[in-house]
Amino acid sequence: MSEPKGKFKSGFVAIVGRPNVGKSTLMNQVIGQKIAIMSDKPQTTRNKIHGVYTTEDKQIVFLDTPGIHKSNSKLGDFMVKSALGALEEVEAILFLADVSEELGGGDRFIIEQLKKVNTPVFLVLNKIDKVQPEALLPIIDKYSKLHTFTEVVPVSARDGNNVTTLLEQIGRYLPEGPMYYPADQITDHPEQFICAELIREKILQTTREEIPHSIAVEIESMGTGDNGVVNIGAVIYVERPSQKGIIIGKNGAALKEVGKRARHDMERLLGSKIFLELWVKVKEDWRNRESVLKSLGFRHD
């Protein structure tokens, strides 16, 4: 894609919503490649993920924020503050709601936060593939009674239905501006960050026990060997020895499966063969230890 000619529009857009309403799925659908991890467990996203969508006439930089929820740890506090802080940095806010679930206290809490900002707020009703079309109008009416939304756009982030319309609507609210990132760049996060997130995603997908928020992943080494193979060494941190056993599994089977799945996605991401080594270490109560949180990248800008 060549440099933009004429009037070029650009800006930042935050994606907010209750945990597990499909924020990461929407951004991955827009970008066309996995940069945010997906899981059926809530509160999967921990950092603001910057996804970059560029066309000939506009560039939208998306912030996929952690789900806004009632916090019970310092990590949780970080996630909520990160999400609310994003509302002050953007040209538009996409408030995602799951139409397959009832409007709940979490939605109402977020809407109350949205009332405090002057930024245009879109109501994006996600998962329309799960309801009958005639059910949408009553749902829109329920949300519209709580807040005056700038636009209302029903979508299916998973299938891509109406996502193009959403992008066109966003474009109407962007100011004229520069191309912040090269046209072929889809995220501002380093490859190490995305690789760590891919490993964490595979743990969330393969582990059914209640340990998803007790894990963190750190890439300790990453480099290309003489044979062109990218060598990656990563540590998975847990809070208790019992969790270490769950992640490793019988005869190391669970950890091997995590590595196999993560390596597959990394090879697609990097376009190279991957040699991946994983270790599991215990850091007791790491989610409430400021020094550990900072070392793992959980810090406020």
Binding region: 17-24, 64-68, 126-129
- The mean per-residue pLDDT over the stretch 181-186 comes to 77
Whether this prediction's pTM lies above 0.75 is answered by: no
53-69 pLDDT, tens per residue? Answer: 899 999 998 886 655 55
Confidence label for 17 from pLDDT (cuts 50, 70 and 90): confident
| Residue 263 near residue 44 (C-beta atoms within 8 A) | no
What is d(CA 165, CA 245) in angstroms, rounded to the nearest whole number?
47
State residue 61's pLDDT score: 87
Structural domains in the chain?
Answer: 9-171 (3.40.50.300), 191-295 (3.30.300.20)
Checking if the pLDDT of 170 tops 50, the result is yes
Annotated binding site for GTP: 17-24, 64-68, 126-129
Q: pLDDT class for 140, splitting at 50, 70, 90?
A: very high
- 231 and 223 Cβ atoms separated by less than 8 Å: yes
Q: Using CA of residue 192, residue 194, residue 197, residue 198, what is the dihedral sign?
A: negative
At 241-251, the pLDDT tens digits run: 888 888 888 89
Average pLDDT score over the chain: 80
